Structure formats: structure tokens, C-alpha cells
Structure 1
Amino acid sequence: MKIIVGLGNPGEKYEKTRHNLGFNVIDKFLKNFKSVSESNWREERKFKSDIAEFEFNLRKGKPEKIILVKPKTYMNGSGLAVTLLSSYFKVNTSDIWIIHDDIDLPLGSMRIRFGGSSGGHKGIQSIIEAIGTEKFWRFRLGIKRDRTKAHDKKNKFIKKVNEFVLDTFSHDEQGKVRELIKKSCSGIEMGLLKGLEGTMNKFNTK
């Protein structure tokens, strides 16, 4: 079993924000396997999340249960949803994959990583604190600001980080975002088929 969690904030006002990139990826990933993705999501109050479940056919022929998760706890409370799920299904933390935006990586890039600190990401920090370990997989999706557009004449950021991540992607960024979502879905699929160690070598980008 794998629990794949896309991080974001619930509610229409956050749907297209940078911080909701994790939600966008698992929405697209589910749509790749289901004809109507919207009908497959269901609210599970005991997990404080929307979840979707399906069987993924591995190369060995034995299907693996996949649980996709969109926490409804808001970003800073993501750890609560993850610990409720991991405790209920009794999965190893190495079988928990977290999909999230990363302001330290260039827009459009992706890094798959096991363990390590939160890097200042409030959602990841919440998960580390809740499950008591850093040992879980992350898909880090780059949303880094374009310095030529994000600074004023005094070289100061026009928007603070918390404002930036809660803003929507610009028109000029949309193409890279679409490609990043597509690449992320391919990375998840390859990870399920071949394992994430090998997948890292193909998909990790500078």
C-alpha cells in the first residue's frame, strides 16, 4: 500500500494558488486512471481529508492499493491528516509520499527526495512533527520566483513568501506549471512501477 498526499489548502479561493500545486498533481494523477476524477474523491472526516482509492497494477501482476489524499486541515496542519491515515492503515513511513511546492527550486523543476529537513515548508514541518520522523518520500516541485520580476528597484522582494505562495501563477508561468504537473504524474507512476530510488535518477533536475 502507498499513501500519496498532495499538500494544499481546501476551498475555492486557494484552488489555483502556488501552494496548492500538490493538490493539482494528484487530481491530474487520478484523472489519468479514472474517467471522471471528481466522482472518485470522497470526504473522510476521520482522516480530515478527501481521499480516493484504486488498485495499481504492478509489473509482477499483483495490484497494489493506492490511497490519494488531499488534507482538509490547511497546509500548516497537514501532519494531523497524515498521522491519522498512517496510524489507521499501519503503513511504514517509507510508503508515504508527499507532493508539495518548493520555493527553493526553479519553477518547473522537480526533485524526489527521501528524508531531510522541512526546508522551511510549513506543511512538511507539520508532518515531521506529527509522525515523529523525517523518513518519508517527498516530490519537491519548484515554484521559485523570477528575480527579475519579483524585486523592486532596491532589490527587495515585492511580496513576502507567505503572500507569494498564496498567489496564483502568472500567465507566463502556466506553460511550465502544466509541464511540471505532467512530469510529476509520470514520476509517481514510474515510482510505483520501479521504485523511487531509480526514479530519482531520471526525474531529478537542476
Structure 2
Amino acid sequence: MADSVASDDPKFCFEEVLSTFKVCLSEDKAVILENYVSGWRGLIKFLNSLGSVFSFISKDAINKIQILVNLLKEDTHSHYMTVQSMVRYELDNSLVDIDKRGSHPESGTRTLLRLHRALRWLELFLERLRISSEDSKTSVMCADAYNESLAHYHPWVVRKAAGLAFCVLPGRPAFFEVMNVGPPEKVVAVLGEAVPLISEVYQITEELYAKNNLLNLP
């Protein structure tokens, strides 16, 4: 069973992210919640390895992950084995704030939606890192990915702060170094495996939420 969130690990290797997303989907393409949480733990370690620049995202992600971890520990944990079973259970039991009344702010469905949106940003950014050249500006790649995804859900103040944070990002070699995978060609190969897996998990979740009219939960 998932336990508390660990966000700092000097032995982090990006292949952790690859291995967890490899087992994130069941044979029938259900998103296994515990493995989704583990995948996010790896992504947070990656972000934190780059210093405080991504703290506005990683701190929120840590809080959201802890909510899901707690749900995996409760007596109702059997309903939280997959994202699909979680959504079905919470909708059937009126545990999702569909009517925007401010109730159930920590439902698993709402909590995961916030992580889902951030996952899209990371997917887009990691793909840009994969196909970029050594002298490509990570600040531009990260900002473009953010503007295509998370920026749509953040107020102006957060968007402004994010833009300033991205300006001080290290170069592509620094990102590759903290991934702790090996030479650049190995990093590109690992990203070439990881990004499609992350993308598939994202798309399956996106379709599930769209089908149930959950993409704009408050």
C-alpha cells in the first residue's frame, strides 16, 4: 500500500519514473492509482532536484498526492484501486462537487484532476527536452509547455511568477544530469520510452473525465 510522500532522494534516477509508468495501466487500460502516485513521486523528485524553481508546482503536487495516499489507506480503499473505480465510486456516492457548492474539496476525483493537469505540462516539457538540441533554451521549452497546459487554470499572479521562475532555469545539460541516467543519448532514449507512457496515462484519464463531464471541476 502507498505510504507517505518522499520528495528528496539523492539517488534519484529518472528510470524510476519510466518503471512506474510502465506498470501504471492494467491489462484493460485502467489507471492503477497506487502506481500513478508512485509515478508522481518520481516526477516530484526530478523537479526538486533542480532546486526551488518548480516549488510552486511540486509543493502542491505533494499535497495532492498525500490526499490520494490517505484515500488508499481508508476503509473504502478497495474503491480506489484504479482511477476508473475511484471516479465511479465517488460519483455514485455524491462525493464529487459537481454543482460547485464547495463540498468535498478533497475528493479523490477533484484531487487527481489537479495532478492530471500538471502531468500534461510535464509530458509536453519532457518531450521538448527529448527532441531539443544541446543549446536549446529550457526556459522557452518550459514556458511554452506551461502556456499550453497549466497556465489555463492558474490566476494571473501565478502565471507571472511561473514565467519569472522559468527564466532562471539551467540549460539542457543540467536537466539531463539530474536525471542520473547516463550520457545524453541514454537520457533521450529513456525519455523516448517514458513520454509515450505518460501520454497514454494522461489520454486515458482525460477521456474518462471528459466522458463524465469532470474536466472543469472547481
Shared fold (TM-score greater than 0.5)? no
TM-score (norm 2): 0.26
Name the one with the larger helix percent. Answer: 2
TM-score (norm 1): 0.27
